Structure formats: C-alpha cells, structure tokens
Amino acid sequence: MVGSARDARAWGDQGHKVICEIAMRLVQQNTRAEIQKLISTDDRFTSFSDACTWPDHPRQRASEHFANLPRDSDGLHSETCPGAPACVVTAIKKDFEVLSSNNASQAQKLASLKFLGHWVGDIHQPLHVSFEDDRGGNGILVMGECGTSNLHSGWDTCLVLKAVGEDVDQVATELMKTITPARIESWSHSKPMDWAHESFAIAEQAQTKYCIRQGASCDQPAGKVTIDAAYVVANAPIIREQLQKAGVRLAHLLDTALGK
C-alpha cells in the first residue's frame, strides 16, 4: 500500500527541471503565456522548470509522489491506487482539474501548476511505481559508478547525470532533437494509468536489477546491486526516453488545461 514517504527524490532536481523545460518548449504559445503569468506571481521561482522542484523542498503531499503495487502484480489497470486512497496517478488528476477550473484562484492554480509538473516527472521515474517493502529501491544498496548509495537514488540523480549531463538547457535541446511529431502523437494519446504501467514494466526489467523474477513474483536482489558501465549503457536510453515522454505528456496536459 502507499503509506509512507520515500526517502529519495524522483529524478532529483535535474530530471524534474529537464522535463518541465521540454514541456515549456512544446506547449502552445498561449499556454506558455499563461504559465509565465502564473509563475510571475510566485514568491520563490522565476521559471517553470525550477518551480517543478517545489514539491520536494520541503516534501509535500508525501504519499502522492509514488504508487505501490503488489509483488505479483502485472501492472496498473485502473485509475485508482492499489490499496491506497491517493498516489501519483490520482495526484495528476487532482491538480489537472484545479489547473483547468474556471473557479480556482490564481494561487490555487499556481500551486497545482507546480504540483502537476512534478507529478508527471515522478510517474515516469520507474522506481516510483514499484514496491513498498523496499521503499521503491531505497532499501537496496548499490556499489560501483553511483557510489555507495541506493538503487532509487541511483536512478534519481546519478544515472540521469550519466545519461544526459548537467546543463538543463543543453539537455533539453538535445532531447528535443529526437522528439518527432510521430512520437508526440503517440505519447500524448495515453493516460496517467498507462504511464504508471510503463514505468512499472521498466522497474521489472532484468536490466534494472530491481526485480528477481520468481514465478509470478518479483523478489528483492540478494546483496548489493552493481551499477557499472554496462548498467549505464543499458539504462541510459531508457532514462532519456522517459524524460522525453514526461515532457511531451506534460505539455499535452498543460495545453489542455490552459490553452483555452
């Protein structure tokens, strides 16, 4: 069940900023103007990409940053949260509705804009759609190229930096080069439930080393997981595509909510 806050931050600040920067570049002109109008009223942030880190500093609505599934699950098949009243899937719906509302105040819309940008990033981090007993990989130690951290934080920050680098604007520019109209069309026509299902499938892939398949169940790996050069090579393309998908899907949500 979704019951406790996870220790690490989904994608770290870098991933969240990249996703929201891509979305900002993809939205329609009038949507971008509405976003800028809302951000201009914020007392802390001056850009949407930076504002998307807000729900992590400090951690807000802790149980809504992830979704937990049973170890014998084959994925998420409804818009409800398995065994919990709220999770990242319902959080996206909640803040999208506020952002779309004609009755919400500017302050409410600003908060939901920042939350929505963050949630869409969270749901595309594979270990945020995983298992409660190891806290989405926080309880699995790693060694190698990501130091002596844990698997969740390895995916949050270390692997993102290895996959795309540190300069947010440059990363967004590079990732935009392969976001084709066909990809935008394909990725946009899906729902948060589908995004969670995709992330869960990645979490269960053998190359992620999070799931040791025992029949219908995913067991925890025994001992530490080694993140070596081969691990980075195998997973970097997945991380890049998840960042791209999140940016495209966030842009679509923002256009739907604000591009009226």
Residue 4 lies in a domain: no
Task: Tell me if 83 sits within 8 A of 2, measured CB to CB.
Answer: yes
pLDDT at 10 (0 to 100): 60
Q: What is the pLDDT of residue 84?
A: 92
- Give the number of other CB atoms < 10 A from CB of residue 157: 19
The DSSP bridge partners found for residue 67 are: 129
2 inside domain: no
What pTM was computed for the model? 0.95
Residue 66's nearest CA partner among 142, 144, 152, 145 is 152
Please spell the DSSP secondary structure of 38-59, one letter per residue: HHTT-SS-SSHHHHTTTTBTTB
Sequence letter at residue 258: L
- Dist. CA 47–CA 32, nearest whole Å: 11
In a domain, 152, yes or no: yes
Q: What is the CATH number of the domain that holds 161?
A: 1.10.575.10
- Comparing CA positions, the residue from 179, 148, 170 lying closest to residue 250 is 179
Q: Scan for tokens 């690490």, then name that residue.
A: 8
The dihedral of CA 204, 18, 171, 159: what is its sign? negative
Query: What 3-state class would DSSP assign to 179?
Result: coil
**Domain with 149 in it:** 12-258
Go through the chain and tell me how many residues it has: 260
Is 67 part of any domain?
Answer: yes
- Quick check: bond before 126 cis, omega within 30? no
**DSSP secondary structure code for residue 150 in this structure:** B
What number of other Cβ atoms are within 10 A of residue 260's Cβ? 10
* Residues of the chain scoring pLDDT < 50: 1-6, 8
- What is residue 248's predicted lDDT score, i.e. its pLDDT? 98
Peptide bond before 58: cis, by omega within 30 degrees of 0? yes
Residue 7 belongs to a domain: no
Domains of the chain: total:
1
Mean pLDDT of the chain: 93
Q: Is 101 contained in some domain?
A: yes
Residue 228 placed within a domain: yes
* Distance of alpha carbon 99 from alpha carbon 113, whole angstroms: 6
Q: Which of 161, 167, 164, 132 is nearest to 149 (CA)?
A: 161
User: What is the pLDDT, as a whole number, of residue 5?
Assistant: 46
Q: How far is CA 133 from CA 1, 3, 36, 76, 257, in A?
A: 9, 11, 41, 18, 36
pLDDT confidence of residue 259: 85
Q: Is residue 142 part of a domain?
A: yes
